[in-house]
Every structure is written in structure tokens, then in C-alpha cells.
């Protein structure tokens, strides 16, 4: 069977949740036994989002092969239980970069290099590369942006051409749109959808299926109207109502028959989707037995997308423990020695987040100290782990001047320092220690207990590292280095004993937590936090109370 391509465009407005719709459709097809991957095409000029500010772009999602990518790839991995790679995210910047490099090398043999055909050909080759790998029955292609944007045009044109290149029966066009409710008229309105479909059709890519985001159910007459004016059959109008959790969307889409229509139109076959495990997972999220409050201490807390994968991994770890995780977002800039107790009262676990630069560091150090001294389960990720090392050096090992050279480049005791191979780098894009590296765990450590194996691998994104020349001072003072990278002898995990659960990791475990395989460190962290909570000190609540408040 030749690979099928599903192009997903968005209309009317951004933020309709195209990534979740793609991931949900992907999950339904995987649950039918098909091999599926999803590719995101981003119409911006940055080569990748790695150099973008978290306020601008949200989290940068890192793949095993070290690509810095769009956060939608996180949804794809979490929903489909697949690993993605650089090939799954293409930006306009990358497309132009490659085309211009080829032009400089004379690859176009003196031709005038143009958007059509050269840019569109380059886009198509990126899409076809996944299909031609022979690894997939279906490639879902999510086109970023909104139909009608100038910058999306080359992508739409490329997809239009692909329908002829690979055969119309091998492709499908799905358009996600908004059906808004006008309170003054007391009605749902289809006009924006009609206009959006018209704009898309003018570019030659008319939709086969229309998914309508709406706050209210679409009645039959409304569906008929959309079908009639947008040139699709009635069952091809699919309603996507707001869901209680994003994980419910595959179930809602199945009920609306989205996967059935896709299967029919692409002649895909495959068994009925098996969503038993998925349904159980959603049930656990919607009706948990327990509840814990976890503090997420970071500097971008007003912008939750900056911590997308951490939030999802906490939900997964919570579901494993039949627990709803309530996140208290704590801005690290405002934590002081004086107010830390008040800010972190009634919290059962403290997670200190990743980050860059010195803003908010003093507050993070206070949060770490509070967790250590008050024996509150603690999870430090990347910069959070580096803060834990500095805090230990200063307050336990007696190195009051301990610091990271990221915040103080003339530190007298640089316990966190730039990695040697980072020292001479000038470029900032794609130059960190990125992607998958091995880590050997110390038998009997918290990490070992959680993972249940001695050799693991995790994804990285950092320039600084525990200073190997000074690390023995901390070891003698009781800090446990429970995970070490075997090739370069780098510290990957730190722990302290005599504490209910205190783990700092140099890598990003949140990137590998999926619905099918919740991350063991998040599961263990929530378990320890739940134990603390149930021990009576704060808000651990049993079934009845949880149901009322969840
Ligand atoms: N800024 C730190 C470093 O580069 C931590 C990075 C992170 O938290 N991802 O090492």
C-alpha cells in the first residue's frame, strides 16, 4: 500500500488546537493498527524555534536526534507513543536556508530560483521524505498558521501539487475552522467557515472533511448548511466541542466518526480503533481518587505553554497514582527568604523548572532550600537541578561563593560551569548539548528505583554542567551523584539521602512522558508528594472531597 498523506489546515483564527486534532486523529489511526507519523510545517523565518523566547513561542521541544522543534511535536509523541525527529518539523527558514545553500553550490544550474517551483519543491521533498521512508501507512501534515496568511501560501500550493504528484486517492485535505456563537443573535454562525473554505479552495486545496470547533453542539440544519456551502457531504462535517481535557479529544472525534470517514476516503481498512487503555486513562483524569498540590517554580509562569511538557508529564504521573495534580504557578522572581514559607505552604511537592539566565535565580535557590529543609518532595529539572547543586554547595558544603558561571562568570567557586566543548562556540542556534544521551544509574538510588533499570537515556538541552573538578567536595558533603553519563563522565542526576524524595536531573524527562508510558520519575515524584499529602500535613483528600473540587 502506498503511503497516504493527510493535510490539515486551519481557518478563521489561530489557537483552534490544530495540533491536538492532528494528534487525536493520529491516535485513532494508530489504535486501528496503522503506522502513523505527524509532520509540522511552520511558516516562520526562524530556522528552528531554538533561539526564540519562551514568551514568543512556548516550550522548545527536543527530539532524540537533538532537533529543537515546535511544541506540537510533544503532543504527537504523547498521543501516538512515537518518537519524532528533525524530519517532523520544517520551517520556512529551514526551507529557504537549504534552497539558498543549494543555489550557492550551483545546484540549480543557472536557473532563476523562485518560490514556485523551487521553494514548493523543497517543501514537497520534506513531506515526501517521511512518506518514502517506507515506515508509515499515513503521514499527517499539519500546516501552521491560518489560511489566508501570505506566509502559508507556498505550503498550500505545495500540498495542492502533491495531490496530483502522489494521486488524489492517496491524499486527504482536512480543514479545521471555528463556528462562533454570537450571544446577541443567540446563534452559531457558519459564515466565517464558508469564507475560510472559499479562501482555501481558491488556492486549489478544497477540503474533504471540515472539523468545526465550537462551544455549542452543531444541530443538523447547521451541519447541512456547512456541507452545502462548503461542498462536502454531511458526514464530513465534524463537530469538535470544547473538552474537559485534551486527552478526551480522540474519544470525541471517534464519536463524531472522524476516523471512519478518513478510513473510507483513503481506503485504509484496519480494525476498529481499540481505545480501552486510552479511555481508562481519561477516566482517571476526570474522576481521580486523590488530589495533590505541586508548586511549579519558574520565571515564565504567566505563560503556561513555556512548560507544556512538564504540565502534561505531571498529569500522566498523576493518573498513574489516581491523583489530580493541581499546579500552583510560583514566579521565582518574587520568592524571598522572608516569604518563601508563605508562598510554599500547603504544597506537597516542589518542582523547580528549567530556564536560562540569572533572572529569578535567588528565588529558585530559596525554593530548593525550603524543599530540602522541610523534607518536601523535590524535583529539579535542568536549571532546577543546577540550582539544587548550588544550594547544596552554599548551605551544606560551606562554599558560600558557589555559583554558576551562567550567572556570575567570575565566580570564585564555579560549581556549575560551561561545558568544555561549549567554550569556543559563537553561534547560538542548535549549538547546545542537545538530544539523547546515556545515563548510568547508581543501584538503590531513587532514580534507579523509579526506572527499574541501570542504563537509561534521556534528552538534553543545556550548555552548563556540574563542574567535575569541584564535584568531589559535594560528594564528601553528602550529595549523591546517582546518574552519570558514561562517555563523558558528566553528572546527570543528583539526590540527597534522608529526604522523602529529592531528585535533580540535568536532562528533560518531561519530553519522554506519553499516555502509554508515563515517565517513571514523574510518577515517583507524584507518589512521594501524595504520600506527604496523605500524611496529613495538608490538602490530601480522599474520593468524595476530590470529586467536589476537581
Ligand atoms: N541554562 C542552563 C544551561 O544551559 C539550563 C538549561 C535548561 O534548563 N534547559 O545549562
The pLDDT of residue 543 is: 42
Question: What's the N-to-C CA distance of the chain in angstroms?
Answer: 46
Name the pTM for this structure.
0.94
Place of cell 523509579: 450
Per-residue DSSP letter, 482: E
d(CA 540, CA 52): 39
> Is the CB of residue 406 below 6 angstroms from any atom belonging to ligand 1?
yes
Classified as helix, coil or strand, 324 is strand
**Which atom of ligand 1 approaches the CA of 416 most closely?**
10
How many other β-carbons are positioned within 10 Å of the β-carbon of residue 183? 7
**Which atom of ligand 1 approaches the CA of 508 most closely?**
9
> Is the CB of residue 407 below 6 angstroms from any atom belonging to ligand 1?
no
Residues comprising the chain, all counted: 550
> How far is ligand 1, taken at its centre, from the CA of residue 41, in Å?
27
> How far is ligand 1, taken at its centre, from the CA of residue 368, in Å?
17
d(CA 7, CA 174): 6
- Ligand 1 binding pocket mutation candidate from 308, 462, 508 (most atoms within 8 A of CB): 462
The pLDDT of residue 423 is: 79
> How far is ligand 1, taken at its centre, from the CA of residue 13, in Å?
34
pLDDT in tens, 397-441: 999 999 999 999 999 999 999 988 887 777 777 789 999 999 999
Per-residue DSSP letter, 160: H
Beta carbons within 8 Å of 440's beta carbon, 6+ residues apart? 454, 455, 483, 484, 485, 486
| φ/ψ (deg, to 5) at 121 | -65, -40
> How far is ligand 1, taken at its centre, from the CA of residue 463, in Å?
6
> Is the CB of residue 462 below 6 angstroms from any atom belonging to ligand 1?
yes
> How far is ligand 1, taken at its centre, from the CA of residue 506, in Å?
8
- Ligand 1 binding pocket mutation candidate from 382, 437, 507 (most atoms within 8 A of CB): 382
> Is the CB of residue 4 below 6 angstroms from any atom belonging to ligand 1?
no
d(CA 415, CA 397): 11
Residue with the smallest CA separation from ligand 1 atom 6 is 462
> Is the CB of residue 382 below 6 angstroms from any atom belonging to ligand 1?
yes
Q: Is the separation of the CB atoms in 156 and 200 below 8 Å?
A: yes
Q: Is the separation of the CB atoms in 41 and 125 below 8 Å?
A: no
Residue with the smallest CA separation from ligand 1 atom 8 is 354
**Which atom of ligand 1 approaches the CA of 355 most closely?**
8
The pLDDT of residue 258 is: 96
- Ligand 1 binding pocket mutation candidate from 461, 465, 504 (most atoms within 8 A of CB): 461
List residues with catalytic annotation: 382, 508, 510
**Which atom of ligand 1 approaches the CA of 465 most closely?**
10
Beta carbons within 8 Å of 460's beta carbon, 6+ residues apart? 62, 432, 433, 434, 435, 436, 437, 506, 507, 508
**Which atom of ligand 1 approaches the CA of 353 most closely?**
8
The pLDDT of residue 270 is: 76
The pLDDT of residue 538 is: 45
> Is the CB of residue 75 below 6 angstroms from any atom belonging to ligand 1?
no
> Is the CB of residue 446 below 6 angstroms from any atom belonging to ligand 1?
no
> How far is ligand 1, taken at its centre, from the CA of residue 382, in Å?
6
**Which atom of ligand 1 approaches the CA of 381 most closely?**
8
> Is the CB of residue 463 below 6 angstroms from any atom belonging to ligand 1?
yes
**Which atom of ligand 1 approaches the CA of 406 most closely?**
1
Q: Is the separation of the CB atoms in 506 and 460 below 8 Å?
A: yes
d(CA 275, CA 28): 8
> How far is ligand 1, taken at its centre, from the CA of residue 119, in Å?
35
> How far is ligand 1, taken at its centre, from the CA of residue 359, in Å?
13
> Is the CB of residue 383 below 6 angstroms from any atom belonging to ligand 1?
yes
- Low-confidence stretches of the chain (pLDDT < 70) are 536-550
The pLDDT of residue 549 is: 43
Per-residue DSSP letter, 46: S
Q: Which of 16, 455, 57, 418 is nearest to 243 (CA)?
A: 16
pLDDT in tens, 142-161: 999 999 999 999 999 999 99
The pLDDT of residue 299 is: 92
Residue with the smallest CA separation from ligand 1 atom 5 is 383
The pLDDT of residue 156 is: 96
At 291, which helix (H) or strand (E)?
A: strand 290-298
CA-CA distances (angstroms) from residue 330 to 8, 294, 336, 404? Answer: 37, 10, 12, 22
- Ligand 1 binding pocket mutation candidate from 351, 383, 415, 510 (most atoms within 8 A of CB): 383
Amino acid at each position: 500500500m502506498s503511503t497516504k498523506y493527510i493535510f490539515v489546515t486551519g481557518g478563521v483564527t489561530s489557537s483552534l488546537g490544530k495540533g491536538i486534532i492532528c494528534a487525536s486523529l493520529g491516535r485513532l489511526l494508530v489504535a486501528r493498527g496503522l503506522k502513523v507519523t505527524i509532520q509540522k510545517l511552520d511558516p516562520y523565518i526562524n530556522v528552528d524555534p531554538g533561539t526564540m523566547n519562551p514568551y514568543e513561542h512556548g516550550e522548545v521541544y527536543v527530539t532524540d536526534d537533538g532537533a529543537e522543534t515546535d511544541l506540537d511535536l510533544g503532543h504527537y509523541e504523547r498521543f501516538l507513543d512515537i518518537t519524532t525527529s528533525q524530519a517532523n518539523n520544517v520551517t520556512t527558514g529551514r526551507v529557504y536556508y537549504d534552497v539558498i545553500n543549494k543555489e550557492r553550490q550551483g545546484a540549480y544550474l543557472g536557473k532563476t530560483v523562485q518560490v514556485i517551483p523551487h521553494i514548493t519543491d523543497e517543501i514537497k521533498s520534506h513531506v515526501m521524505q517521511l512518506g518514502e521512508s517506507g515506515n508509515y501507512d499515513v503521514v499527517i501534515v499539519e500546516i501552521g498558521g491560518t489560511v489566508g496568511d501570505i506566509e502559508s501560501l507556498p505550503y498550500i500550493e505545495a500540498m495542492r501539487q502533491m495531490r496530483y504528484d502522489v494521486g488524489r486517492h492517496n491524499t486527504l485535505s482536512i480543514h479545521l475552522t471555528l463556528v462562533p456563537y454570537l450571544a446577541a443573535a443567540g446563534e452559531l454562525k457558519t459564515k466565517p467557515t464558508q469564507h475560510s473554505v472559499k479562501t482555501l479552495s481558491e488556492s486549489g486545496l478544497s477540503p474533504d472533511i471540515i472539523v468545526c470547533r465550537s462551544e455549542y453542539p452543531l444541530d443538523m440544519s447547521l451541519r447541512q448548511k456547512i456541507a452545502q456551502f462548503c461542498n462536502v457531504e454531511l458526514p464530513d462535517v465534524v463537530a469538535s466541542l470544547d473538552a474537559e481535557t485534551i486527552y478526551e479529544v480522540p474519544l470525541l472525534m471517534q464519536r463524531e466518526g472522524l476516523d471512519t470517514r478518513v478510513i473510507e476516503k483513503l481506503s485504509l481498512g484496519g480494525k476498529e480503533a481499540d481505545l480501552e487503555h486510552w479511555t481508562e486513562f481519561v477516566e482517571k483524569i476526570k474522576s481521580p481518587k486523590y488530589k495533590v498540590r505541586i508548586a511549579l517554580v519558574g520565571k515564565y509562569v504567566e505563560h503556561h505553554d513555556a512548560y507544556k511538557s512538564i504540565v502534561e508529564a505531571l498529569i500522566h504521573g498523576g493518573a498513574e497514582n489516581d491523583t489530580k495534580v493541581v499546579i500552583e504557578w510560583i514566579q521565582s522572581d518574587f520568592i524571598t527568604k522572608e516569604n518563601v514559607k508563605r508562598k510554599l505552604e500547603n504544597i506537597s511537592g516542589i518542582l523547580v523548572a528549567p530556564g536560562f539566565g540569572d533572572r529569578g535565580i535567588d528565588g529558585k535557590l530559596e525554593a530548593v532550600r525550603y524543599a530540602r529543609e522541610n523534607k518536601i518532595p523535590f524535583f529539579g529539572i535542568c536549571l532546577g537541578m543546577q540550582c539544587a547543586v548550588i544550594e547544596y554547595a552554599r548551605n551544606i558544603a560551606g562554599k558560600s561563593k558557589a555559583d554558576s558561571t551562567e550567572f556570575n562568570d567570575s565566580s570564585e567557586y564555579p560549581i556549575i560551569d560551561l561545558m568544555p566543548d561549549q567554550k569556543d562556540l559563537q553561534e547560538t542556534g542548535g549549538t547546545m548539548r542537545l538530544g539523547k544521551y546515556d545515563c548510568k544509574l547508581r543501584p538503590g538510588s531513587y532514580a534507579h528505583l523509579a526506572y527499574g533499570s541501570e542504563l537509561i537515556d534521556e534528552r538534553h538541552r543545556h550548555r552548563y554542567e556540574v563542574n567535575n573538578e569541584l564535584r568531589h567536595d559535594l560528594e564528601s558533603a553528602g550529595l549523591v551523584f546517582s546518574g552519570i553519563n558514561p562517555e563523558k563522565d558528566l553528572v546527570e542526576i543528583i539526590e540527597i539521602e534522608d529526604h522523602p524524595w529529592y531528585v535533580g536531573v540535568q536532562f528533560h524527562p518531561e519530553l519522554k512522558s506519553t499516555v502509554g508510558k508515563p515517565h517513571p520519575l514523574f510518577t515517583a515524584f507524584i507518589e512521594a508528594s501524595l504520600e506527604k499529602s496523605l500524611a496529613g500535613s495538608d490538602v490530601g483528600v480522599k474520593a468524595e472531597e476530590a470529586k467536589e473540587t476537581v
